[in-house]
């Protein structure tokens, strides 16, 4: 399915772990529904709308699979997004006014290139093949200092029992998050007509939400 086959506006939230993109994407979905729009969020509440996608995600984050090579990791992440696109996102685009995704194929692309050091020449063609022409109307890069993001994640886990094993990305240290942040900012600079950058380091939540609702409205009007 290509972008010309759908009627919904596809909004993607991207950013490093702990940036606040999940909180913002859920808040924007709720605000748009309050305006009377039909909104599908394919990762509402942090859980993918596809059980298969969720299973692939757990495999990819599991520290027991720390030996996963950068090339293999790329295809695991692409499989996650392909399944979600086929099972949830594409049907939602045909039946709603707005579809929101918390992460998209950019995650796989930038983890491979900015994060793991693979070349764009070997990564971009397989990412393009996986997307099959589906492009978001708006990408919201939720930007935050990686040290702040790391601290937020630690605070969020206080008093909460998580039965899952540690994250592979977490074991890589904060340096990976700095590389990913730089990669995201560079990607946003390449496509300013599609990407907007939201500084979420010390921003007031409602102000950010209001700005994003205005940006979505402007993009829908186009």
pLDDT tens figures, 4-54: 455 799 999 999 998 999 999 999 999 999 999 999 999 998 899 999 999
User: For residue 165, what pLDDT is reported?
Assistant: 60
The span from the CA of 38 to the CA of 95, in Å, is: 8
- Predicted confidence band of residue 129 (pLDDT cuts 50, 70, 90): very high
Output the pTM of the full model: 0.90
Q: What is the mean pLDDT of residues 85-104?
A: 97
User: For 191-219, what is the mean pLDDT?
Assistant: 93
For residue 159, what pLDDT band results from cuts at 50, 70 and 90? low
SS3 72: helix
What CA–CA distance (Å, rounded) separates 80 from 62? Answer: 14
pLDDT over 60 (residue 1): no
Rounded to an integer, what distance in angstroms lies between the CA atom of residue 53 and that of residue 56?
Answer: 5
- pLDDT at res. 203: 81
**23-42 core/surface letters (b: 16 or more CB in 10 A; e: else):** bbbbbbbebbeeeebebbbb
């Amino acid at each position: 399915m290509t972008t010309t086959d759908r009627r919904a506006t596809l909004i993607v939230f991207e950013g490093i772990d702990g940036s606040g993109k999940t909180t913002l994407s859920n808040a924007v979905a709720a605000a748009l529904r309050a305006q009377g729009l039909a909104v599908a969020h394919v990762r509402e509440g942090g859980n993918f709308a596809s059980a298969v996608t969720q299973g692939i995600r757990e495999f990819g984050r599991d520290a027991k699979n720390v030996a996963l090579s950068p090339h293999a990791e790329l295809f695991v992440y692409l499989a996650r997004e392909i399944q979600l696109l086929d099972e949830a996102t594409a049907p939602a685009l045909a039946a709603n006014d707005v579809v929101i995704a918390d992460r998209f194929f950019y995650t796989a692309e930038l983890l491979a290139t900015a994060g793991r050091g693979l070349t764009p020449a070997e990564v971009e063609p397989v990412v393009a093949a996986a997307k099959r022409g589906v492009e978001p109307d708006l990408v919201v890069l939720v930007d935050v200092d990686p040290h702040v993001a790391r601290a937020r994640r630690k605070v969020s886990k206080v008093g909460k029992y998580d039965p899952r094993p540690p994250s592979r990305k977490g074991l890589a240290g904060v340096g990976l998050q700095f590389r990913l942040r730089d990669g995201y900012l560079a990607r946003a600079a390449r496509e300013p007509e599609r990407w907007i950058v939201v500084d979420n380091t010390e921003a007031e939540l409602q102000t950010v939400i209001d700005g994003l609702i205005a940006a979505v409205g402007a993009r829908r009007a186009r």
